[in-house]
Amino acid sequence: MKPFRLSRRAFLRGAAGVTIALPTLDAMLDGRGRLFGTAHAQPAPPPVRLVTFFFPCGTVLEDWTPSDTGAGYALTPGLKALGGTQAVPSVREYVNVLSNLRKQEYEDNVTEYSAESHLRGTGTFATGVGVSPDGLGAGGPSVDQVAVQALKPDTRFPSLAVALGKSNGVNLSHISWSKARTPIPPERSPRALFNKLFSTASPGMPNAELEHLARRRKSVLDTVRGDLSKLQSRVGVNDRSRLEEHLESVREIERQLVFVPATTCQAPEAPGTGLAPPEAAKLMMKMLTVALQCDLTRVASFQLYQRQDNLRFPWLGIDRGHHDVSHDTTPLGLKQQTAIVAWEVEMFAHFLHLLRSVPEGGGNLLDNSLVFFANEHSMGRSHEYKDMPVLLAGRAGGQVRTGRHIRYPVGTPYANAFVSLLNYVGVPATKFGTYGRSPLSGLDT
């Protein structure tokens, strides 16, 4: 087969639905998975990837927290999928279960506008600060965006926000925030994510035509940016943040629409639509894995539904909504709640397995990643926040020792986890948010 020559301009974002199957590019890669022609004297270690992963409506904490600590802890009913399922071998050696992390910021900035419990729970998932007191969003940037802003990765997408569930409102439908009140709208379906990652302007368009298209798009966007810059200096204080965001957005899409770095990715098959949650979740995670593997991005967030979806779980035999179940304190209600949590952990384990299955460097992609898995509340029935259910997976390129249950001193700030995450991805942070004052101890190898 005639080798396919990739022009650096060969990929322009186009209207959704137009896709091409990218050829296999093994021939272009050396044994270490890098493009020929970019070898360094010493191979650079793969970058550490960061993924935040959210699940809603709390847990039955009694069925979550292991009673013993250390490496040999007994898996609880909520965590059992970590030990392996029919489809996925055990991932527990890659995971640390963290307990006694207190999300004190949950109680900050509570007013009549911001009081709703799930607003606060979701809005403080990874920001380290109380929500905005007017109920208009999170109170600050989430850890994934802090990492992006500090590291400015030269990837096609600075980060990827992915979610399942319908967007219903500002507060419950977003877990990535670039600053206060400024959410990053996620892709909400496997098809939408696929199009974002893999669709192009026109298959087979000759390079010369692509050049024209790229040049024209750039001209238009330059004019638009000119309007924005001039307007910025004239508007009042109430508009500055939003106009700044608009300008930043136009800069960012210029990368997608005008110039796109070459990628070494094999696009997966285009997904169908109308998939049941387990299939949809697995497809989203598969595409996220491809995006990380191919360096389309190094930072991502994944929201596995939210309270407003009140998701039903027919494949678990539960035909009423998640939120209703989470507030049912009968023995049946608690059992169902734990079954739901167990399924969510199963999805998490599936994602870890996907990452683990990608060889990279001398190990695999999970060795080079950090995945932060947590809920909005600890106890679903009472919206507690004092002992948050957190799983931290991945070895951050060998920096993190995994496979244990670590019980921290009571009241250890939840946001200390974010200090750790930033440090492991290469951001020298010493604090995070209102209460994060040091990295979590005991994680380093």
Partner 1 sequence: MRTSSRGHGCIRALLLFAALGLAACKSEQPSTPAAPIENEEDGGTPTDPEGPGKPLQCGGVRPGPQYSRRLTNAEYESSLQTLTGGSSPLVAQLPPDGYAEEFSFNNHASVLRVSSAHAEVYALVAEAVAKDVMASAARREKVLGCSLSKGAACLESFIRSFGRRAWRRPLTEDEVGALKTLATSEQDTAVGASLALQAMLQSPHFLHRVELGAPSADRPGYHKLTGFEVATRLSFLLLGRTPDDALLDLAANGSLDTAEGVAAAARTLLSARPEQARESVRTFYSQWMSLQRLDVVQRTPSRYPAWNTELRDAMREEVNRVFDHFIWEGERDLLGVLTARHTYVNPVLASFYGLTPPSATGWGQIPLEEKGTRGGLLTMAGVLTVTADHEGVAPILRGKFVRMQLLCKPPPPVPQSVPAFPEAVPGEPERQRLARHRSDPSCSGCHTLMDPIGFGLEQYDAIGAFRLKDSEGHPLTAEGSVAGMDPPDFRGPAELSQRLRAAPETSACVVKQVFRWATGRFEQPADACALETFTESFRASGNDLPELLVTFAASDAFRFVDPSLSLFLEAP
- Of 228, 265, 270, 275, which lies in the binding site for partner 1, with binding defined by CB under 8 A? 228
Q: Considering Cα of 169, then 172, then 178, then 184, what sign does the dihedral take?
A: negative
Please choose, out of 31-39, 221-229, 342-350, 420-428, the segment that lies near partner 1 by the rule CB under 8 A: 221-229
Q: Does 56 bind partner 1 (CB under 8 A)?
A: no
- Of 135, 140, 190, 389, which lies in the binding site for partner 1, with binding defined by CB under 8 A? 135
What backbone torsions phi and psi does residue 411 show, to the nearest 5 degrees? 90, 5
Question: Looking only at residues 71 through 100 of this chain, which bind partner 1 when binding is defined by CB under 8 A?
Answer: none
Taking CA atoms, 152 is separated from 48, 105, 250, 298, in Å, by 14, 27, 16, 10
- Of 10, 11, 14, 400, which lies in the binding site for partner 1, with binding defined by CB under 8 A? 14
Q: Closest approach of Cβ 117 to partner 1, in Å? A: 6
Query: Closest CB to partner 1 among 226 and 442?
Result: 226
Q: Closest approach of Cβ 281 to partner 1, in Å? A: 19
Query: Closest CB to partner 1 among 14 and 46?
Result: 14
- Of 66, 78, 137, 439, which lies in the binding site for partner 1, with binding defined by CB under 8 A? 137
- Of 109, 124, 200, 412, which lies in the binding site for partner 1, with binding defined by CB under 8 A? 109
Q: Does 119 bind partner 1 (CB under 8 A)?
A: yes
Q: Does 382 bind partner 1 (CB under 8 A)?
A: yes
314 burial via Cβ count (<10 Å: 0-12, 13-18, 19+)? exposed
Number of residues binding to partner 1, judged by CB under 8 A: 83
Question: Looking only at residues 253 through 312 of this chain, which bind partner 1 when binding is defined by CB under 8 A?
Answer: 253, 256-257, 308, 310, 312
Q: Does 411 bind partner 1 (CB under 8 A)?
A: no
Question: Looking only at residues 316 through 355 of this chain, which bind partner 1 when binding is defined by CB under 8 A?
Answer: 319-321, 323-324, 327-330
Query: Closest CB to partner 1 among 80 and 245?
Result: 245
Query: Closest CB to partner 1 among 56 and 394?
Result: 56
Q: Does 128 bind partner 1 (CB under 8 A)?
A: no
Q: Closest approach of Cβ 321 to partner 1, in Å? A: 6
C-beta neighbour count of 445 within 10 angstroms: 9
Fill in the per-residue mask, 142 to 181: x = in contact with partner 1 (CB under 8 A), - = not in contact: ------------------------xxxxxx-x-------x
Q: How far is CA 118 from the centre of its chain?
A: 19
Of residues 275, 358, 301, the one with CA closest to residue 53: 301
Q: Closest approach of Cβ 33 to partner 1, in Å? A: 29
Query: Closest CB to partner 1 among 12 and 429?
Result: 12
Q: Does 192 bind partner 1 (CB under 8 A)?
A: yes
Question: Looking only at residues 15 through 44 of this chain, which bind partner 1 when binding is defined by CB under 8 A?
Answer: 15-16
Q: Closest approach of Cβ 310 to partner 1, in Å? A: 6
